[in-house]
Structure formats: structure tokens, C-alpha cells
Structure 1
């Protein structure tokens, strides 16, 4: 996959994730406030908060991807890890808060591991700059 295509994918996904995080936070504050328990609402809001953090991290990856060709592999892995982490971590928290299906909480840490992999790859990429 060309670097330009990957940059576009990361940039567009960051924008979509960021926008959906704002929508999700607003939805939780207004539409879900009366329908969910305080605990379920806090779980939903945690998903939205981590989604925004990692939308911004993915934006950073997209912006830096072509600035350091020697680090592109690490940036690519970081980007995909942030995408996977957002889907699994935030997605499982949204589903858990809305359905109260307890086993969904068991897959949330897998998304957290993806986030950690992304941040480690971002750190390695930073030290690979020439």
C-alpha cells in the first residue's frame, strides 16, 4: 500500500473517530443520561474519551508518516494499532454500557493492549528519525 494512501486512510479515520467521539459524548450527555445508570454512563463516556485521545494520536501518525521514511513501518503499525484499539476498546465499552452484557468487559483489555502497542511503536518511530 502506498504511503499516500495510508496517510489518507489514517487522516480520514482520525477525523471520523474524532467526530464520532464528539457525537457519542453529546449523545451520552443528553439522550442517555436518563436511560443509563451512572456506572453505565461513566463506561460510555470512558469509551468516548479514549476514542478522542486515539483519534488525535492517529492524526499525529498521519501527519508524521511521510516526514520520516525510515520510521514508516513503526508509524504504520502505530496507526493500525490505534484503529484496532479504538474499535475494540471503545466499541466494547459502548456495547457494555448499552446492553449490560458482562462478557464484553473481558475483551476491552485487548483494545487497551492495541493502544499500548501503538504508543510503543510511536515512541520507537520517534527514536528512528534521522
Structure 2
């Protein structure tokens, strides 16, 4: 059960890492023609890509002893849910993005399910040591 959660978190952590790399390297030009990008939009896009790096590092830090890091994972999931709600608002007001963004929203809004899994792992670990 613990190893499964660690593997899932490890695989999911590669998503923000990949987008961080693309965002920091290509900026908003990844989504828009280069000549049409306001400097402020590119700046904000690259900044948020840097935040993705932190999410990845926090997940990597929690994975080895995932049963002990419920609070950290709760904060990460809260950030993901808030971001997923932002995507939902965008989809409802501006229109759907590409399928990858829809998939991201589903993962983000579903991330609290990982907390349930983590709590089960923590409970099992406590039972085995107690």
C-alpha cells in the first residue's frame, strides 16, 4: 500500500516538473505565437513554472516517508485543488483549453483522493509500530 502510493506520487510529480521545464525554457510562447505575447504574461507564466519546481521538490521530499507527511501533502493538495478550480473557472468563462489542461484539472480536483490513501498508509504504519 505504501509503495503503491510512493510510486503514484513519484509518477505524478513528473507532471509539474515537465511543465516547469517547458514553462521556464519556452515561456508563454509554448502556447502563443512569439510576437503576440505580452511581457507581463510571459513573466507570470515563467514565475508559475518556477512554483511547479517547488511542488515537485516538496513531493520528492515527502515520498520516502509518505506516512509521516500528511500535513504537507494536504497543503500540496489544497494548492492543486485551488489551481484546478481556477482551470474550471477558465473553462466556464473563456472556454476549454487543450485536452492536457482538462486532464490536469481532473488530476488537480481529484488530488484529495491521494490524502485518503496517505491516511490509510499512515494508519497502517502506526498499527504496525504500535
Q: TM-score normalized by structure 1? A: 0.52
Runs of 5+ in structure 2 lacking a partner? Answer: 95-130
Q: Which has the larger radius of gyration?
A: 2
Contact 2:24/2:49, CA 8 A, preserved across alignment: yes
Aligned to 2:55: 54
Alpha carbons of structure 1 residues 55 and 7: separation in structure 2 relative to 1, 3 Å: same
d(CA) in 2 for partners of 1:8 and 1:78? 17
CA contact (8 A) 2:28 2:41 kept: no
Q: Which runs of 4+ in 1 moved over 6 A?
A: none
Q: For structure 1, which segment, 84-93 or 35-44, has the greater mean C-alpha deviation from structure 2 after superposition? A: 84-93
Residue 16 of structure 2 is matched in structure 1 by 17
**How many pairs were matched up?**
89
Match of 1:116 in 2: none
Structure 1 residue 87 displacement after superposition: 6.0
The verdict on how the C-alpha distance between 1:55 and 1:64 changes in structure 2, with shifts beyond 3 A counting, is: same
Two-structure CA RMSD over aligned residues (Å):
3.2
Q: Is the 8 A contact 2:28 2:37 kept in 1?
A: no
Cross-structure match for 2:70:
76
Aligned residue in 1 for 2:99: none
Deviates more, 1:34-43 or 1:80-89: 80-89
